[in-house]
Structure 1
Amino acid sequence: MIFDAEEIRSKIKRPISDDILEGDDFSSDSLYEFIEEEMMKVGSLSHGSVKWDKVEENLIILLNEKTKDIILIDYFIECCKRRNNIVSFYLALSVISDFVSFYWSLCYPKKEGAAGKRYKIRVLDKIFKKIDLFIDSKMDLDCELSFFDEIFKVNDELKDSLSLNEIFSEQADLLYKRIKSKFSDEKSRAELDAKSDVKEVSQEKKDDVIKYNNSASSEKESRKKISEVIDIVKHGDEYASLALRLKRFNLWSSIKSLPDSNKNKTLIQALPKERIAEYFSLLENPTYELWERVESTIVMAPFWIDGQYLSFLISDSLGLHEISETVFSETKRFIGKFPQIYDLTFKDGTPFVSEDCADWLTAKSNDVSSSLISNSEELDSIKVEANEVFLERGLQEALKYLDVKISEASCQKDIYQLRLISSEMLKESGAEDIASQQFEFMFKQVSEMRVSEWDPIFLKRLKNSISFD
């Protein structure tokens, strides 16, 4: 059933063609007319005669092959609601999120200007009311515990899609909170039931179940811990650069591949051009508040690489050179994992990496030394120098020195060797909680990377630094 839901979601999400993503107006099509005739029966004396299966089949055909019409999405949500189970609820929420993200500005019925936007928002609010009723229904909640996390994930995606498209709806805000509350309660209830069942099985089986449940939510818990660390670090704090690294880890660590594309064009919605133009227009008189606004937007748009360039320009202009260097080094590291990103564009043709942004990455890379730290003597020399800076000028300056070395490194091995030194220094200075997080995240990254012949001494130091409490 879950597989079917993902297959249906994929069909509705897929563009109609390379040239016309939203297709054509098919409101006069016989399939469309059949759907409307059947849906007119809903809530009437003829409600029991609605041919639901045929309606759903025709909806998927139209949305997959012919048109992206928000009225059809409204009807499709009604079909999901009729199934009345958690998987159909997930599918309904996913389809709304995808549609808003990819087709909001393109979809039918096409009405120009503010009146057109108000019309679509009215339809969207109507859809949200149906989801609200769905929540109140006695839906079948039989699913794996980890599936609740999928609900939370798509709920967050919908919230981000609405924000990126500047859709402000009180109904949507209330719905987001209701979904979070409803399924948090249901997950807690399911966890209690699972624990009760575990008590009845053997100790060996019990360990297996606990291990499974922990692994299902481990990534979410890790991200939560990172966010907590980021939240306590303020501007000007000696750990500000480290907090930014953690922020970028939260943003990019889950990305294992680039999004699907057709002739280098992806289905990802670009940020509103007006918002980006506003950001760049304020560069002449940058403020810390502007930098925070840009950073807040970056969190919702991992492939907006120009946002990293903008963050660098603002922080550098404000004299936050440690921050700007960190932005550059983390961006360089992410781009290094996916060099094909230079070729990709958003749905409207806007490149992921503009020419100015590409020039920034290239020029700055050429400005710094790209020599390889080829032997342990050079590494030891950097460590000794960092310790001397620490003794003479304090932890903040020592970490800044190491950040510069990290940004100058040209290969993954060097970068991670230097990051380990930085984390070890944090631990030795008493910042054990932050250092522990760094060790664990580094180990996870290193384990997932295909870098040949990691230095065994480096791996041993990293493993020994991790706390498994």
Structure 2
Amino acid sequence: MIFCDHYEENLENLEIFHLLEEEMTKYKTLNHEKIQWDKVYEYSLDILQNNSMDMKIFAYFSLSCLALNNEECFKIFLEIIIFTEKLFREKPENISKTSSILLNQKKKYKQIVENFINEFNKNSPKCSQVAAKSLNEYFEKLREILNCNFAKLNIKEEITQTKQSPLKSPVTQVNIDIKNTKLSNLSDREYRTLLNNLAIELLENNIENTNAYSLFAEAAWGRLKTLPPHSDFVTKVRYPDRNLIKLLLDKNTNELDQIKCFINNLSLNPFWIEGFKLFCDFLHHHQKEHSLKILNLLTCNFILKFKDITKLRFDNGELMCKEDTFNYFVKQNQETNKKTLTTSDKNKKVEQILIEINNENYNNSLFCNINSLIAMAQVFETNNMKNNAKIIYLQLVELMEKTLLKDYLSDEYNYAKNKTNKKI
């Protein structure tokens, strides 16, 4: 598991930070029992991985591990201890070059460990013997870094069981009864995670399933109504962490895992258009041309929907969508967004054209079906079969209204909608 290797003090621009703080305001109050510790675990881990190795956030994570009392929690807690021990030992300047801030973070780190040990020894949680021994070893290493002495974790001998149920993660990103839950009732985070999980499941069943990319695009951009606020076009949106960029460019990860990595991380960085170009480059490199076409078109439509994104910058001054990135997505789609029949097509027999349309529908995916319907309707129109064309346009409108593509293919949708309203 990869964690953020630096400390970022200001997390105010993160929705997930505010959700985490909202839960933790209940801590040691009359609402203490109402704390959703699985959410605290999820939110704090997300920030520690992607945004900041802030000891305040780690303290929240530590409390959630103790509250959830799950073996998997303590394994992740150990991973963070191993990571932070090395970080404070080898690169303390990553936490801060200001001595007062560094000392403050060390003080919080010490309190986290002390509290963890006290609660652990008091309650004997469900932590494996191996993990507990490793924690003791690293707490010993931390004594020198934090200039203090820690008590030992009391480790009980494990009783071997003939049958042990497989370990499950303490947090499933989304736990929703789809039959009884409207998508509109989901939070933005739940909505995004649900669609990401569906996209990944489709790809795990069939890595060539292009429908997954429509779900991914909806996860990234579906709930966005406006661009982020700015001051002189500089927003408070953080530029992606260098470790994330390194992770996305990793050539040693297998194909499916790397696609999952792109999906999970880009959906959290919807305004980083360069990241979507990296994804397209990856798909092209692995000869996934059908998936590439769909992702390219969906990204193009997002850019055209929010054209001012080309003017906006991240908090570090980097453009959200550079000119060459804009050209990569938009210019190559200008001719394909609206399919028109060429002169040679008009001279062909209708039967031959329909056969070609059928052949172009290479995988019967949602995206290909929509393109086929558009092409078929245009064939009928060109050959003065307007009744047939209108029937196709009606089917097209109905299909797009039931799918997630409607918002992204708004030009095609409006075009078909207008055709259905015209008198024959």
Q: TM-score, normalised by structure 2?
A: 0.48
Q: Tell me the TM-score normalised to structure 1 length.
A: 0.44
Larger RCO: Structure 1 or Structure 2 (Cα < 8 Å, ≥ 6 residues apart)?
2
